[in-house]
Amino acid sequence: MRRSATPPSPLPQRAGIDPVRLRLPPGDWPDLRGYLLHRYAGGAGAAAIAGLLERREVYGANGAPVDPAGPYLPGTYLWFHRELPAEPVVPFPVEVVYRDDHLLVADKPHFLATTPRGSHVTQTALALLRERLDLPALSPAHRLDRLTAGLVMFSVRPPDRGAYQTLFADRRVHKEYEAVAGHEPALALPRTVRSRIEKTRGVLAAVELPGEPNAESRIELLAHRDGRGRYRLTPATGRTHQLRVHMNALGLPILGDPVYPQVTDPAPTDYRRPLQLLARVLEFTDPVTGLAHRFESARTLEAWQDYPAWAGAGPAR
């Protein structure tokens, strides 16, 4: 039996965040309230959903609030907005580098997550750009670590999303990063590093393990001075923390890294020493328009430009 199409949301986004969509599963419940309190039991979930029901802030496909005492109808769609947590405002702007009817390329700052995850929801590049540019259908083509600055791509229209995501999955995007780390004269560069990297969910640091390599990075030294090096990093693969792991394995941990070589715990609003890693270049042929694109970040790594200011107490720029 063919599954019916999902109805459109009756609720607009809030601060660039989509409402929660819930499809009631098969089951026998006396009413909606009973099922929803059961589903979201534990922690603050039950109290939050009870409050939404009391305020009539759970909606059906017709755009009307549902009756908490109404019948339980499997297959019914419901929508509601979760209460958004208070988040520290990241005090650095995300810039738009390029925009057409299909593609948006942004130059994001350090400390700003690409997409909502965990405690970072509204303070993300996706949510901020959706709201600022009135682009509710904007979606990421790939992701950049919260601590890494630089270029990140978004699809403007849902029909194009798969084409841009496949571009990255098929490794048809040339990516170059820039990093600042210590300089080791005895280390022969350039070189290509290959290893097996595994990242366990809930564990901050990824690790290298024996086995078939699944990560490859080319490391080049562009310049050095005062014991520091400026490096061009070209990943051939996209494992989590890949460049940070490979640089650390070479004995060149990237300056400002709170995870490698050891995990530290800087305050969430301590912006003084950002990770000195920048997604500098994205180059590809647009799968929708056929245009050849090369984009370059306008940002700089301050540990190379002005190391004393970066290492001291001055704020990140």
pLDDT of residue 240: 93
pLDDT of residue 142: 95
Sequence letter at residue 226? D
Domain span at 280: 95-311
- Same domain, yes or no, for 50 and 131? no
Q: What's the CA gap between 121 and 86, in Å, rounded?
A: 9
Q: Is the pLDDT of residue 315 over 80?
A: no
CB 157 within 8 A of CB 177: no
Look at residues 281, 262, 251, 270 and name the one whose alpha carbon lies nearest to residue 316: 270
Q: What's the CA gap between 231 and 247, in Å, rounded?
A: 10
pLDDT of residue 4: 65
Q: Place 308 in a pLDDT band, splitting at 50, 70 and 90.
A: confident
- Same domain, yes or no, for 69 and 213? no
Give the list of residues 6+ apart from residue 89 with CB closer than 8 angstroms, or none: 123
Q: Which residue among the candidates 67, 145, 286, 306 is catalytic per the annotation?
A: 145
What CATH number is associated with residue 163?
3.30.2350.10
Q: Is the pLDDT of residue 314 over 50?
A: no
Is residue 294 assigned to a domain? yes
Residue range 118-170, pLDDT digits in tens: 888 999 999 999 999 999 999 999 999 999 999 999 999 999 999 999 999 99
Q: What's the CA gap between 76 and 287, in Å, rounded?
A: 37
pLDDT of residue 316: 38
Residue range 186-211, pLDDT digits in tens: 999 999 999 999 999 888 999 999 99
pLDDT of residue 119: 86
Look at residues 50, 138, 123, 133 and name the one whose alpha carbon lies nearest to residue 96: 133
> Could you tell me the two tokens for 280?
């500098």
The domain total for the chain is: 2
- 256-260: average pLDDT: 96
Residue range 1-57, pLDDT digits in tens: 455 688 999 999 999 999 999 999 999 999 999 999 999 887 667 888 999 999 999
Q: What's the CA gap between 202 and 148, in Å, rounded?
A: 19
Instruction: Count CB atoms within 10 A of the CB of residue 166.
Output: 12
pLDDT of residue 3: 57
- Same domain, yes or no, for 134 and 232? yes
- Using DSSP, state whether 164 is helix, strand or coil: helix
- Same domain, yes or no, for 119 and 192? yes
216: left (phi over 0), alpha (psi -120 to 50) or beta: beta
Is residue 13 assigned to a domain? no
- Same domain, yes or no, for 196 and 249? yes
- Portion of the chain with pLDDT greater than 70, in percent: 97
Q: What's the CA gap between 94 and 14, in Å, rounded?
A: 19
Would you call 145 a catalytic residue per the annotation?
Answer: yes
